[in-house]
């Protein structure tokens, strides 16, 4: 069993330079975090993009879709910025033979107080036990990727109420 991990940038891999919040997307952190956690599953990491998700466009999302569809592995993890994670998940609809779990972080993985490691752990477990589908792992929960929204005021993901769209 090998889990394919695609990295796309986002806060997970951000490096901040000053108090004005100037940043760049650094090298992917997921490999270092998995090594630190001493995981016993095999994984293959491929960096697709190094972008803040607010800068992603349709072409970037198509790049993600093509890579996921082409992957020989059936278990897929995707690091992604939280602001447009749901938008990218929508583009993955129609890929039915894989378990795809997207996750990110509200604080960069390089920071001491970050949710990155926790979200990676939840996503890693989820991709191994869930049936084929597209999911988002954030804030200690697994969400159907089409039935979730980011609550920016609370800085967390929440399920969409049944009759709200």
CB of 148 closer than 8 Å to CB of 157: yes
**pLDDT tens figures, 10-56:** 888 788 666 666 677 778 889 999 999 999 999 999 999 999 888 99
The pTM score is 0.92
Instruction: Spell out the domains of the chain, with CATH numbers in brackets.
Output: 2-159 (3.40.50.1170)
- Residue environment code for 4-18, b if the CB has 16+ CB neighbours within 10 A, otherwise e: bbbbbbbbbbbeeee
Distance CA 25, CA 68 (A): 22
């Amino acid at each position: 069993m090998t889990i394919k991990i695609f990295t796309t940038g986002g806060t997970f891999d951000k490096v901040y330079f000053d108090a004005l919040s100037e940043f760049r997307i650094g090298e992917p952190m997921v490999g270092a975090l998995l090594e630190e956690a001493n995981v016993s599953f095999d994984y293959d990491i491929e960096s697709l993009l190094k972008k803040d998700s607010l800068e992603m466009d349709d072409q970037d999302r198509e790049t993600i879709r093509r890579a996921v569809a082409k992957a020989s592995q059936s278990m897929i993890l995707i690091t992604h910025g939280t602001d447009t994670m749901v938008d990218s998940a929508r583009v993955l609809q129609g890929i039915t033979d894989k378990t795809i779990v997207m996750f990110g972080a509200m604080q960069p993985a390089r920071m001491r107080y970050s949710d990155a490691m926790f979200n990676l752990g939840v996503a890693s477990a989820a991709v191994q036990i869930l049936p084929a589908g597209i999911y988002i792992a954030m804030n200690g929960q697994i969400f159907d990727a089409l039935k979730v929204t980011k609550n920016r005021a609370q800085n967390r993901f929440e399920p969409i109420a049944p009759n709200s769209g």
